Amino acid sequence: MTEAFTKEEKAAMRAAVAAARKKFTPEQHAAEVVESYAAMSPADREMGEAIHRIVLDAAPTLEPKTWYGMPAYYLDGKVICFFQDAGKFKTRYCTFGFQEAAQIDDGSMWPTSFALTAITPAVEKQIRELVTRAVH
């Protein structure tokens, strides 16, 4: 019989439960996000720290807070977007994704997550536009 969840998925669920129990201030949550980036591999950390800068610059009203152990950005208590490093679930690329509270709807079908291999000026522009749209 195979396990229903990988050890990485189980760890993410444990992280979500632990985060829900924490009574952190917004500053403590933001510090935890910075710490989560610091714990990533150098390549993932560089990309993640760029995402952090871009997201908070594009939408300063978003609150950084971890979500399933991943850096995420909240508005009114709801996850708008998140960054998943490649090392977290042993994937070949990092992911920048949006949750349903994000206002990125576009017709009957639209992407909600994006594979990242580099943060180029064009990618930064696209992220900035998506994040701005997500909160308005």
Q: What is the pTM of this model?
A: 0.86
| CATH classification at residue 75 | 3.90.1150.200
Q: From start to end of the chain, where are the E strands?
A: 63-67, 70-75, 78-84, 94-98, 113-116
pLDDT of residue 1: 56
Can you give the residue range of the structural domain that contains 22?
Answer: 7-134
Largest CA distance in the chain: 47
Per the domain annotation, does 52 fall within a domain? yes
Is the four-CA dihedral 101, 113, 41, 124 of positive or negative sign?
A: negative
Per the domain annotation, does 1 fall within a domain? no
Per the domain annotation, does 28 fall within a domain? yes
> What does each of the 136 residues of the chain score in pLDDT, given as a tens digit?
567 878 877 877 787 777 777 778 989 999 999 999 999 999 999 999 999 999 999 999 999 999 999 999 999 999 999 999 999 889 999 999 999 999 999 999 999 999 999 999 999 999 999 999 999 8
Per the domain annotation, does 2 fall within a domain? no
Per the domain annotation, does 74 fall within a domain? yes
Tally of domains within the chain: 1
